[in-house]
């Protein structure tokens, strides 16, 4: 393939010539997907991006500016900490998010979105109250068989003790 368009040729005729020569050489034979229908949703201009994200298992949040990602994480913090098992984990998660927010505030990039660090103690207090409400709503665990009273021991225990 020629690297540069020869002078005197229009771009259209030069490109057509390149395609025709490649077809004659057989460079378009046996391409992956040849003879298959166009994938559904190909009319959308971002279909390839959606397929790539789906194939890689990434969320669309990876494409958003950092300020919007931080704002979303801040708004969803209660749902995020709900599944954590200890107060130390909650504090570590909130501290990490606050550090990233402060770092963004020092050197903002992308669109400016008003965002402020969270109060760790408020999040921990909400986490504790959620845990207490969960425990109160949970039915009591069935207790093991009650221990027999002193005079009601089984006969084999009375004989062998």
Q: What would the pLDDT profile of 69-104 be if each residue is shown by its tens digit?
A: 999 999 999 999 998 999 999 999 999 999 999 999
Instruction: Tell me phi and psi for residue 110, to 5 degrees.
Output: 75, -165
| Whole-number pLDDT of residue 161 | 57
| Whole-number pLDDT of residue 143 | 63
Residue pair 115/98 in contact (Cβ under 8 Å)? The answer is no
The answer, yes or no, to whether residue 154 has pLDDT greater than 70, is no
Which tokens belong to 140?
A: 């009591």
Average pLDDT on 117-146 reads 83
| Whole-number pLDDT of residue 15 | 81
**Measured in whole angstroms, how far is the alpha carbon of residue 60 from the centre of its chain?**
8
Output 143 or 23, whichever has higher pLDDT: 23
Assign 3-state DSSP to the chain and report helix, strand, coil percentages, each to 5: 55, 0, 45
Question: Smallest Cα–Cα separation from 73: which of 37, 98, 36?
Answer: 98
| Whole-number pLDDT of residue 91 | 95
- Sorting pLDDT into bands at 50, 70 and 90, what band is 129? very high
Question: Which 3 state secondary structure label does DSSP give 44?
Answer: coil
Buried b / exposed e along 95-118 (16+ C-beta atoms within 10 A): eebbebbeebeeeeeeeebebeeb
Q: Find the Cα–Cα–Cα–Cα dihedral 115, 118, 119, 122, rounded to 10°.
A: 120
Report domain extents, the chain: 60-135
In this structure, the number of other CB atoms found within 10 A of the CB of residue 15 comes to 12
106-124 pLDDT tens trace: 998 888 889 999 999 999 9
| Whole-number pLDDT of residue 127 | 92
Average pLDDT on 8-14 reads 71
| Whole-number pLDDT of residue 151 | 61
Which tokens belong to 83?
A: 């599944």
Output 30 or 72, whichever has higher pLDDT: 72
């Amino acid at each position: 393939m020629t690297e540069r368009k020869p002078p005197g040729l229009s771009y259209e005729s030069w490109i057509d010539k390149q395609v025709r020569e490649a077809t004659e050489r057989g460079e378009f034979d046996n391409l992956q997907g040849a003879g298959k229908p166009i994938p559904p949703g190909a009319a959308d201009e971002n279909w390839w991006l959606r397929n790539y994200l789906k194939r890689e298992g990434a969320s669309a949040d990876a494409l958003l500016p950092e300020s919007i990602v931080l704002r979303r994480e801040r708004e969803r913090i209660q749902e995020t900490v709900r599944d954590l098992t200890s107060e130390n984990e909650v504090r570590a998660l909130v501290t990490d998010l606050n550090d990233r927010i402060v770092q963004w505030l020092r050197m903002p990039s992308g669109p400016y979105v008003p965002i402020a660090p969270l109060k760790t103690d408020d999040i921990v207090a909400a986490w504790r109250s959620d845990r207490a409400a969960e425990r109160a709503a949970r039915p009591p665990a069935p207790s093991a068989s009650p221990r027999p009273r002193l005079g009601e021991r089984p006969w084999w225990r009375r004989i062998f003790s």
